[in-house]
Chains A and B, each alone.
Chain A
Amino acid sequence: MAKTMTILWRSGSMMAMDANVATKLAKAALEKGYKVNMFGYGEGITAVKKGQAPKRFPNVGDELQELADAGATISLCETCYAARGFQRGEEIEGVKIGSLTNNLFVFVSESDRLVTIAR
């Protein structure tokens, strides 16, 4: 059975490249045949917003969509999501609005490695 990497990200879609580092690492891990989970919380939830249009910057929403389509399991904190006024349905396809207890802890318990990309 393939080993599992969980990546935790907490920075927003802009202002730092943290979310992009997280998606690039996830992509590299998927390409190597690992199972990949990703969990976003805090400002990290902004990265899953549908319809981002960052013009000259990498579009982390598209990157996450590609990862979800490629088999990564992506979830994020519902509390953080609602706290910032997001409504269900504003997120990209394939991302699960979840919680620390129901999703992150399960990810961590089933993972071989946990990588946190946060500052």
Chain B
Amino acid sequence: MVKTAFVVIRSPQELDASRIIAGMSDRADAVVILFEDAVYNAVLADRADGLDRVAGDVQVARDDLEARGYESSDLKVGRAVEYADIVDTIMEATERTVSA
């Protein structure tokens, strides 16, 4: 399977990205990158569980997380990363990018 970076910007209320991810990738090959209101997926327990089931790595844009009043300690899944780390993930650690 192709190692894939899934870019998600919409909130959990707008989109359940886990179904797209599960349909396109194995868990081991799926890296989810959460921007903007998509970061709420990582702080809401039920959505976080859903992402954890389909993605081996969940990366949350720290700036977007903190802009919304959350910190790394609030994350129920994944880890807070910088935009530079996200570039590494897209350009080097994965082979294709899918915007969900």
Taken residue by residue from 32 to 64, chain B's Cβ proximity to chain A (1 for < 8 Å, 0 otherwise) reads as 000110000000000000000000000001011
Main secondary structure on A side of the interface with B: mixed
B65 sits at the interface (CB 8 A): no
A82 sits at the interface (CB 8 A): no
Partner of A32, one of B9, B14, B35, B88: B88
Indicate if the CB atoms of B91 and A113 lie closer than 8 Å.
yes
- The CA-CA distance from A3 to B88 in the complex, in Å, is 11
Indicate if the CB atoms of B91 and A17 lie closer than 8 Å.
no
- Chain A residues with Cβ below 8 Å from B84 are 28, 31-32
Are A34 and B99 CB-contacts (below 8 A) given A115-B7, A117-B7, A119-B10? no
- Chain A residues with Cβ below 8 Å from B36 are 16-18, 21
- The CA-CA distance from A25 to B87 in the complex, in Å, is 7
- Chain B residues with Cβ below 8 Å from A28 are 82-84, 86-87
Partner of B97, one of A18, A32, A115, A119: A115
- Nearest chain B residue, comparing its CB with the CB of A11: B9
- Nearest chain A residue, comparing its CB with the CB of B36: A17
Are A116 and B7 CB-contacts (below 8 A) given A5-B90, A32-B88? yes
- Chain A residues with Cβ below 8 Å from B96 are 113
A92 sits at the interface (CB 8 A): no
- The CA-CA distance from A93 to B99 in the complex, in Å, is 29
A114 sits at the interface (CB 8 A): yes
- The CA-CA distance from A99 to B84 in the complex, in Å, is 29
A110 sits at the interface (CB 8 A): no
Partner of A115, one of B63, B82, B90: B90
Are A114 and B97 CB-contacts (below 8 A) given A29-B91, A34-B91? yes
- Nearest chain A residue, comparing its CB with the CB of B98: A116
Give B residues with C-beta under 8 Å from A: 7, 9-10, 14, 35-36, 61, 63-64, 82-84, 86-88, 90-91, 96-97, 99
Q: Across chains A and B, which 10 residue pairs bring their CB atoms closest together, nearest first?
A: A28-B83, A116-B99, A29-B87, A28-B84, A28-B87, A21-B35, A115-B97, A113-B97, A24-B83, A17-B36
